[in-house]
Amino acid sequence: MEFSSLLPTHEMAKHNSPQDCWIVVDDEVWDVTAFAPQHPGGASSILNYAGRDATKAYAEYHAPSLIKDNLPLSCFKGNLDRSTIDKTWARDPSSNAAASGSNPTQAQSDEEKPPLHSIINSYDFEAVAARTASKKTYAFYSTAATDCWSRDMNESMYKRIWFRPRVLHDVSQIDTSTTILGNKVNMPVFICPTGLARMIHPEAEKALGRAAKATGIIEVLSTSASHPVEDIVAQAPDHPFFFQLYVNRERKKSEEVIAKAERLGFKAIFVTVDAAGRGKRESDERLVVDELVINPVTGERANTDKKGGGLTRMMGSYIDQSLTWSDLAWIRSLTTLPIVLKGITTAADAKLAMQHKVDGILLSNHGGRNLDYSPPSILLLLEMHKLCPEVFGQMEVYVDGGIRRGGDIVKALCLGAKAVGIGRTFLYALNYGTEGAEHLVEILKDEMESVMKLLGIKDLSECHPGLVNTADVDHLIPSTEGHPYAKWRPKPRL
Amino acid sequence: MEFSSLLPTHEMAKHNSPQDCWIVVDDEVWDVTAFAPQHPGGASSILNYAGRDATKAYAEYHAPSLIKDNLPLSCFKGNLDRSTIDKTWARDPSSNAAASGSNPTQAQSDEEKPPLHSIINSYDFEAVAARTASKKTYAFYSTAATDCWSRDMNESMYKRIWFRPRVLHDVSQIDTSTTILGNKVNMPVFICPTGLARMIHPEAEKALGRAAKATGIIEVLSTSASHPVEDIVAQAPDHPFFFQLYVNRERKKSEEVIAKAERLGFKAIFVTVDAAGRGKRESDERLVVDELVINPVTGERANTDKKGGGLTRMMGSYIDQSLTWSDLAWIRSLTTLPIVLKGITTAADAKLAMQHKVDGILLSNHGGRNLDYSPPSILLLLEMHKLCPEVFGQMEVYVDGGIRRGGDIVKALCLGAKAVGIGRTFLYALNYGTEGAEHLVEILKDEMESVMKLLGIKDLSECHPGLVNTADVDHLIPSTEGHPYAKWRPKPRL
Amino acid sequence: MEFSSLLPTHEMAKHNSPQDCWIVVDDEVWDVTAFAPQHPGGASSILNYAGRDATKAYAEYHAPSLIKDNLPLSCFKGNLDRSTIDKTWARDPSSNAAASGSNPTQAQSDEEKPPLHSIINSYDFEAVAARTASKKTYAFYSTAATDCWSRDMNESMYKRIWFRPRVLHDVSQIDTSTTILGNKVNMPVFICPTGLARMIHPEAEKALGRAAKATGIIEVLSTSASHPVEDIVAQAPDHPFFFQLYVNRERKKSEEVIAKAERLGFKAIFVTVDAAGRGKRESDERLVVDELVINPVTGERANTDKKGGGLTRMMGSYIDQSLTWSDLAWIRSLTTLPIVLKGITTAADAKLAMQHKVDGILLSNHGGRNLDYSPPSILLLLEMHKLCPEVFGQMEVYVDGGIRRGGDIVKALCLGAKAVGIGRTFLYALNYGTEGAEHLVEILKDEMESVMKLLGIKDLSECHPGLVNTADVDHLIPSTEGHPYAKWRPKPRL
Amino acid sequence: MEFSSLLPTHEMAKHNSPQDCWIVVDDEVWDVTAFAPQHPGGASSILNYAGRDATKAYAEYHAPSLIKDNLPLSCFKGNLDRSTIDKTWARDPSSNAAASGSNPTQAQSDEEKPPLHSIINSYDFEAVAARTASKKTYAFYSTAATDCWSRDMNESMYKRIWFRPRVLHDVSQIDTSTTILGNKVNMPVFICPTGLARMIHPEAEKALGRAAKATGIIEVLSTSASHPVEDIVAQAPDHPFFFQLYVNRERKKSEEVIAKAERLGFKAIFVTVDAAGRGKRESDERLVVDELVINPVTGERANTDKKGGGLTRMMGSYIDQSLTWSDLAWIRSLTTLPIVLKGITTAADAKLAMQHKVDGILLSNHGGRNLDYSPPSILLLLEMHKLCPEVFGQMEVYVDGGIRRGGDIVKALCLGAKAVGIGRTFLYALNYGTEGAEHLVEILKDEMESVMKLLGIKDLSECHPGLVNTADVDHLIPSTEGHPYAKWRPKPRL
């Protein structure tokens, strides 16, 4: 079959099984037989459209370019011959599925959400999302790798850091503003890049972008945003955005992407370095397992293999797992934008980052979603202080993971962070659209102001480690780059 | 409208909506449109009286002067023309509200309280209050800032300090008496100042004052006591009282208040220094949120903004947030009474207090109600020992927060406190009036005596740190004024 | 009224109210008006017999001499004139009470106890007692002071001490025998003295004495044993007993008691030194409070005072609270028996004990029943090692509190104890009489043997600290006799 | 009765009570009166066959040789005279029992197991076994000694060891293979020897052997495997097996067993050194206790003694408890196979093992089944690093106990283990036969690969201690071979 051939619907109809599955998206025909079992949204959401037109369903979740980024060109089978479309073929097969009872992708109705003003903290946003979003959405957002230890510790470690408030300072005027890589922000907060934001709200990153501008913070856009990036940045003209990059196996694609980011006016590139492998996120995988039991095409019990595979297990199969420190020079050569490494978790790598002259590092364990038992992120700031305090003077240091309160932000800043990233909570707030995200920022700002006054500081330049007591966690911080009493192996490798 | 004009009731009736709300208190007309949403008791308790006479309802909770202290004079609209009062206008609108089902301000009937003699410890008082006081009252009393960590740790840290009892000492006679700022007391305890004591008992601070005298302890009266201070001190003639001061933005008002305190014979001024900002107390805020959903005036769904705001969120808007150490000279110039700083939480500030020659400090995190993650108060005594033991010799040191047992008092004294403050528990005991507060003191005294005998000491002069084992918490105490291994910022600021 | 006068029943009948209450015990008339509210068994169990003959009820719980030891002679009113007894007067009033529903002193029937062979560890004994003994009995046995922290920690600290087992030692023959003060025992265990053993089994200390002999351990008899000591020791002829002494305010009485102990062949005197005050045991007090609500005599709501007072609150009002170290010489002068101080909880007092040349010390916090937050007893062995290891060479050191497993016994011995005391668990086992106590010893011995084999030791002389890992608790052990960083008071007093 | 005599069934029928109980197995008559109460499977499973032929029931659980290994020859009564068998005698008495309601040995039907592909981690296997295996099987597999502390800590200590992941390493190719004693394996895992595997699946060790070969790991066969070892090794020709040895009191038997192991091609001998005593496994014992209440033979309440005794209490009565270090020379003399000591728990014994030139040690507390409060096994690797790092260079070091995740395996290897053993989890997986065990290995391998990529390593030679943070447990590791501050006994014995 040639590249430019037009494919009639009766040809399509032959490829309608899990063993041989073609679909149409935007009049392009793709063979997704190999991809379907790896589909982040579960195989059934693709197999429903085996031999049919999936354009509309596709657009609900994905930006147009995504299919090309994820599938090898060999899967492209040609264009649909639209003249052959008839009524039967065109009928949306998803209506069948929707009729058959409880749908894990079905959100509860909007009426069930409590009014936004009754949300008084970030926990409320999560609680509402847990109740009102679809099971699949909440599973995908809330899950983390294996035992979810790092996710939970990200949060609980903040609660083991105390304040040491000072009294009798003039705090009648409070200022929470600062800069991030030179960009002025009203609060030291950026919205972390996340996948599949459209699952909870159709406006997804667009809504977040508007909220970012309205409240004066910055959104970091994901490589796999669910709207085209140009559409998103158009929501907030003259407002800074950052771009998150997964380096593609096909380096050319990354080069194009970076060029485009520059063109669109992004202010920095966040290169993700902690996703060389894929985290095993189990609540996610369980939903997929449940779904696979019945093959949606044939109605028969699926002949599944033994491995589960959740929404994110197979995401990012295009990510280059061979990326090394020496590749940073290549990235540096592509752009003049500031470069930030996202996902540093040791002092040793922070020092390497500094030696490679990046502009910033984001201390992060990917929200606990990739390697469970990675260090709780706030503790990494302490590791930096202990083992490589010099990094604070040479680049900006950020932290994400586990931030729920304005006070958490202040703690991170006292420990040297220039700003913090927040991911999941913005997705939960997005349940209420732009207004929800704005409300979240207002809550956090209000909490920050209250904390700053009571701590005796009037602006963020007054943050310093002496305002926090970390005694409850200090013993958890490594005191050397290697293991303290393991001498049987020569030394920690670089 | 002129200052001295008389306002007829038909004029009042025009200002009967949330957007334009006047009320009458003691024949004075006030515009409370701006204030109502910030009202500690919730907007509805004011809006119920929009365009009407709120005198009676006001008097249930507040001392007469409070409205003047909280509202700018520009809100005063004139005096009511009493000749225009008719029956319809005079009818109490609250009877409507009371008719409509479950009222969060409605306490359960007195019959439901168990008999006082069945209360055998301080926890019992709280448990009874949780059951029998109104939801709003219990929420206001029991709540604390954000995660309530400091509140809970105040209490649980006492349980991590152990005794080291000595045997074979003659303990046939036990004496729990001591002095506080030279005033003889039967026990090393004072009643902490609290707001809105009238919510649980109409006699409020008056009842507590009588109990203080009867049991030989001292009551510290709040700036915002719910009875006029002269009425309260009249309950216990020839018995010492202390006065708690929030410094007012309008310094003249504080000058008047201090002069009055001296005139009334108070024995010390406790200047609160930890309330420059307002704690975010969430269980409190939730009740307000629930209430605002239905506008009590119009019966329609309220057009609320997104921010909640609980009973205490907006309390004390008159507090001067620009107060600094240099202002202590001004306070010192106003009175010869001993001055105590209430709310010190670091050794650095304790040293400053000492340098400023105050007579005492109260180590306190405001019951966890202002800045969450402030240090558990009993640990502050240990910080003093580690970093500035000299303060114990130069001024009296007190501690409050988390004391539930006579043994807790003995622990605090062994660690250097001259006396301890107890707040919430006295409010819970006030549920039973004067007799309840007396019973609480008796319980604590009985517990103290039992502990002292078993510890092998016969009077409080024998308290010393060797009688407690703090090994389980010692690692939590900072060993320097700054952060132990953070060297990237010059030094802790003063 | 003269000392020797005979009192007719009609005179008795006049003293039949809580305000004026006489009872007859063994034909002696006692005024118990003042004592009743303090009665360990609750006032009602006495007031039931106001103006009547309580002999039978008394004998159920108490040894004959107890009433004389506890009441001042001034309460003795004379002897009953038996000729005046008539049917009405003689009727047992307790039958009324029994008719009126749920009786807290009523045990469940024997049939409900599971068969003894199904009891496989000490926890089972407690669980059965909790279910089948009367509420009052279980409350009295299981309770401890205030928050029950020391009681619970006594047990849980054993679980934080680990073994360091050695392999490939010949353990084909295991020997658990040792000596205590020169007396040969099959296991390093003695039964701690306890009050009111008769509540759970009529044979009480007699049953325990028989079991001690049968299994080759030693019973320590309480000053307030519920059978006459001569009757108890008669159960186990030629078997050693120890005697526990509460020194009486009337020293003569203690002299008599010690003389009697010598005469009866006791092998040691355990002088209790940790009961100068009375612990506040709350579950106990609550039962009394419940009971007092209805006056059993008048049927009216009782006019009670505010203080509760449980079974043990007022026990031992005869104990001399002025006893000091210098009184040990007096005790020493009274007997040649070995003297052991029961209730040492600091290294400082252990050294004093050594200097006073006693023969042994029992490290104990009285089962957590007296001073809550006293150190968990097993940790005291570690304190001795740290601060006064010399005591192990100069006297025998025992420990009690929290021992539930044979492994716990081995841990205590590895840490230097010569033997351990077990109290509560023997009371729970006594629920099954002599056979229950024997079964308990067999279980513990079986557990010890298993532990010793797996630890690689064949007899108790091989116990040493290197076989346990105390790293999880080492930081809890004080490193000085005073407080480590409190220098503001001269020094810990002696 | 002579050794070779033939016994008629009517003679058998006389020995049909608990007091006198003979059974036939493979035409041999054994007197099991003394053995029955000690029977690992409970007395009733034997007494059911008192005076009858138990061949079929026996074969369900045991290898043929087992009866001879466990019973003294004096219990052999002769051979059955098969000519005397009649219908009544031959009837299977177990059918009676099966009719009478809930049978603790009855597994739930296969249909109730969820499909294998829905099992996504090792916890799932246990959860399914808990639901679908018989109560007795699950009790025997899951139980551990007394408080089950060591069992639970084995697992939870892994969760207190964190990763220190390195970024920007090329991890596009991952290799989990290594060698164990020179044998190539696809993963650093061996299946630990366990008893009674047949309880959960009839194929037992045979199924595990096939899975071991299929997945490229090694099975260690138990001395008391439930199939003849020759049958098991025949399942996986040309694949290495290891042999676990309990040294028999009758040394000759062990000599035979070792000779046979060599003959069958086993690649190593694992000598168990931590089973000199028997662990007290209580959930196991409780089932036995329940069963004994009704004597299955007579229907009467059993005249039981007071001691319980579970499935494993009496197992291994043939184990030589007098085995010492000097016996290693004897074992060494019997074989040229590598020798591994299974059950080392101290650095002192690891050094002795090294001095005795064994080829490896397995750090293990027997899954917490023998001595409770033995050190959590992963911590033992840290003890080795602290006190005897030289052992890592001189022999292979393994660890078992508590491994549930691929990440746990990586942690153990980073801390110096050459491989890890997994026991219980393979039994739970065996619930699904060979396929289940294979699925378990695939899950663990998939988890390992994910962890290795995210940790930045591509093969196991890159594991090193610097990749883990053990700060949360470091304080639990002994720093000397003896007790740190116990000087009163000369020194830890050898």
pLDDT in tens, B218-271: 999 998 888 999 999 999 999 999 999 999 989 999 999 999 999 999 999 999
Confidence at residue A88, expressed as pLDDT on a 0 to 100 scale: 80
Round to whole Å and give the CA distance between A441 and A8: 51
Q: Within a 13 Å sphere around the CA of C219, how many CA atoms are in the beta-carbon half?
A: 31
Mutate to test the interface with A, among B153, B271, B272, B371 (most CBs of A within 10 A): B371
Confidence at residue D303, expressed as pLDDT on a 0 to 100 scale: 37
Under the banding of pLDDT at 50, 70 and 90, the label for residue B93 is: low
Please identify among residues 464-493 of chain C the ones whose CB lies closer than 8 Å to any CB of chain D. 464-466, 468-472, 474-475
Quick: pLDDT tens for D175-207. 999 999 999 999 999 999 988 899 999 999 999
Look at residue B380 and tell me if it is in a domain: yes
**Chains touching D by CB (3 or more pairs below 8 Å):** A, C
Angstroms from D97 CA to nearest CA on chain A: 39
Check whether residue B124 and residue B58 sit in a common domain: no
D121, D389, D447 ranked by CB distance to A488: nearest: D389
Look at residue D385 and tell me if it is in a domain: yes
CB contact under 8 A, D465 and A477: no
Mutate to test the interface with C, among D143, D287, D374, D483 (most CBs of C within 10 A): D483
Please identify among residues 65-94 of chain A the ones whose CB lies closer than 8 Å to any CB of chain D. none
Q: Is B301 exposed, middle or buried (0-12, 13-18, 19+ CB in 10 A)?
A: exposed
CB contact under 8 A, B466 and C485: no
Confirm or reject contact between D400 and chain C (CB < 8 A): no
Check whether residue C59 and residue C204 sit in a common domain: no
Angstroms from C493 CA to nearest CA on chain D: 25
One-letter amino acid of C98: A
CB contact under 8 A, D168 and A321: no
Q: D31, D53, D124, D274: which one is catalytic?
A: D274
**How much of chain D, in percent, has pLDDT values that exceed 90?**
63
Look at residue B254 and tell me if it is in a domain: yes
CB pairs under 8 A between C and D: 156
- The full DSSP string for B352-372 is HHHHTT-SEEEE--GGGTSST
Round to whole Å and give the CA distance between C417 and C398: 5
Confidence at residue A79, expressed as pLDDT on a 0 to 100 scale: 87
CB contact under 8 A, D449 and A481: no
Q: Domain with C18 in it: what CATH number?
A: 3.10.120.10
Chain D residue with minimal CA distance to A290? D118
What tokens appear for B489 in the block? 């910022």
Confidence at residue D327, expressed as pLDDT on a 0 to 100 scale: 96
Check whether residue C78 and residue C122 sit in a common domain: no
Round to whole Å and give the CA distance between A86 and A53: 12
Please identify among residues 260-289 of chain A the ones whose CB lies closer than 8 Å to any CB of chain D. 273-274, 276-280, 282, 285-286, 289
pLDDT over 90 at D401, yes or no: yes
* Contact between chain A and chain B (3 or more Cβ pairs less than 8 Å apart): yes
Q: Which are the contacts of C414, defined by CB distance < 8 A and separation ≥ 6?
A: C463, C464, C465, C467, C468
Chain A residue with minimal CA distance to B305? A117
pLDDT over 50 at B304, yes or no: no
Look at residue C436 and tell me if it is in a domain: yes
8-state DSSP, D374: P
CB contact under 8 A, B450 and C280: yes
Check whether residue B59 and residue B139 sit in a common domain: no
Confirm or reject contact between C452 and chain D (CB < 8 A): yes
Please identify among residues 150-189 of chain A the ones whose CB lies closer than 8 Å to any CB of chain B. 159, 161-172
Q: D475, C471 in Cβ contact below 8 A?
A: yes
Check whether residue D136 and residue D215 sit in a common domain: yes
Look at residue D450 and tell me if it is in a domain: yes
**How much of chain B, in percent, has pLDDT values that exceed 70?**
85
Hey, is B219 helix, strand or coil? strand
Please report, for residues A191, A327, C8, the alpha-carbon distance to residue A359 in angstroms, rounded to integers and kept in the order given: 19, 16, 103
Q: Is B30 exposed, middle or buried (0-12, 13-18, 19+ CB in 10 A)?
A: buried
Mutate to test the interface with A, among D162, D215, D448 (most CBs of A within 10 A): D162
Check whether residue B28 and residue B137 sit in a common domain: no
- Pairing mode, strands C178-180 and C183-185: antiparallel
CB contact under 8 A, C475 and B470: no
Quick: pLDDT tens for B350-377. 999 999 999 999 999 999 999 999 999 9
Confidence at residue C109, expressed as pLDDT on a 0 to 100 scale: 53
Q: What region, left, alpha or beta, does residue A243 occupy, with left being phi > 0 and alpha being psi -120 to 50 degrees? A: beta
Q: D58, D61, D141, D246: which one is catalytic?
A: D246
Please report, for residues A455, B344, B345, B380, the alpha-carbon distance to residue B363 in angstroms, rounded to integers and kept in the order given: 15, 5, 6, 7
Give me the mean pLDDT over the D319-341 stretch: 96
CB contact under 8 A, D385 and A483: yes
Check whether residue B454 and residue B344 sit in a common domain: yes
Mutate to test the interface with B, among C373, C383, C485, C491 (most CBs of B within 10 A): C373
Check whether residue C154 and residue C300 sit in a common domain: yes
Provide the number of structural domains found in chain A: 2
Packed helices A406-414 and A377-387: angle between N→C axes, nearest 10 degrees: 10
Confidence at residue D291, expressed as pLDDT on a 0 to 100 scale: 52
Confirm or reject contact between A292 and chain D (CB < 8 A): yes
Nearest to D217 by CA among D42, D398, D437: D437
- Active-site annotation of C, residues: 246, 274, 366
Mutate to test the interface with A, among D111, D116, D119, D120 (most CBs of A within 10 A): D120
Q: D341, D271 in Cβ contact below 8 A?
A: yes
Top-confidence residue, D30 or D349: D349
Q: Which residues of D touch A279 (CB under 8 A)?
A: 450, 454
Angstroms from B477 CA to nearest CA on chain C: 11
CB contact under 8 A, D276 and C393: no
CB contact under 8 A, B487 and A167: no
B146, B274, B307 ranked by CB distance to A407: nearest: B146
Confidence at residue B300, expressed as pLDDT on a 0 to 100 scale: 44
8-state DSSP, D190: E
Look at residue A154 and tell me if it is in a domain: yes
Quick: pLDDT tens for C263-294. 999 999 999 999 988 889 998 788 765 554 44
Q: D169, D400 in Cβ contact below 8 A?
A: no
Question: Each residue's pLDDT tens digit in chain A (494 positions)?
Answer: 444 578 888 888 888 887 888 888 888 888 888 777 666 556 667 877 888 888 877 777 777 777 776 777 788 888 888 888 888 887 766 544 433 334 445 555 555 899 999 999 999 999 999 999 998 899 999 999 999 999 999 999 999 999 999 999 999 999 999 999 999 999 999 999 988 899 999 999 999 999 999 999 999 999 888 899 999 999 999 999 999 999 998 999 999 999 999 999 999 999 999 998 888 999 878 876 555 444 334 444 433 444 444 444 445 567 899 999 999 999 999 999 999 999 999 999 999 999 999 999 999 999 999 999 999 999 999 999 999 999 999 999 999 999 999 999 999 999 999 999 999 999 999 999 999 999 999 999 999 999 999 999 999 999 999 999 999 999 999 999 888 876 654 333 33
Q: Measured in whole angstroms, how far is the alpha carbon of residue B471 from the centre of its chain?
A: 32
Confirm or reject contact between C112 and chain D (CB < 8 A): no
Look at residue A315 and tell me if it is in a domain: yes
Element (H, E) at D94: helix D94-99
- Active-site annotation of A, residues: 246, 274, 366
CB contact under 8 A, D486 and C472: no
Q: Which residues of A touch D170 (CB under 8 A)?
A: 321-324
Nearest to C11 by CA among C92, C93, C79: C79
Check whether residue C237 and residue C361 sit in a common domain: yes
Check whether residue A76 and residue A205 sit in a common domain: no
D168, D389, D464 ranked by CB distance to A324: nearest: D168
Alpha helix segments (H runs only) across D388-432: 391-394, 406-414, 424-430
Round to whole Å and give the CA distance between A118 and B293: 9
Under the banding of pLDDT at 50, 70 and 90, the label for residue B417 is: very high
Round to whole Å and give the CA distance between D462 and B162: 48
Q: Which residues of B touch A451 (CB under 8 A)?
A: 277, 371
Top-confidence residue, B20 or A214: A214
C165, C450, C469 ranked by CB distance to D278: nearest: C450
Check whether residue C365 and residue C424 sit in a common domain: yes
Give me the mean pLDDT over the D316-339 stretch: 92
Hey, which residues does D319 pair with through a beta bridge?
D248
Structural domain containing residue A137: 116-476
What sign has the CA pseudo-torsion C478, C480, C482, C487?
negative
CB contact under 8 A, D321 and C170: yes
Confirm or reject contact between A116 and chain B (CB < 8 A): yes
Q: Which of these ranges, B144-148, C52-56, C128-132, C415-419, has the smallest mean pLDDT?
A: C52-56
Confidence at residue C278, expressed as pLDDT on a 0 to 100 scale: 83
Chain D residue with minimal CA distance to C159? D373
Nearest to C180 by CA among C273, C258, C272, C267: C267
**Reported ipTM:** 0.86
Q: Domain with B450 in it: what CATH number?
A: 3.20.20.70
Q: Which residues of A touch D472 (CB under 8 A)?
A: 475-476
Check whether residue D70 and residue D157 sit in a common domain: no
Look at residue A382 and tell me if it is in a domain: yes
Chain D residue with minimal CA distance to A477? D471
What sign has the CA pseudo-torsion C307, C313, C317, C322?
negative
Give me the mean pLDDT over the C406-434 stretch: 98
Residue where a domain terminates, one of D37, D65, D84: D84
Q: Is D238 exposed, middle or buried (0-12, 13-18, 19+ CB in 10 A)?
A: exposed
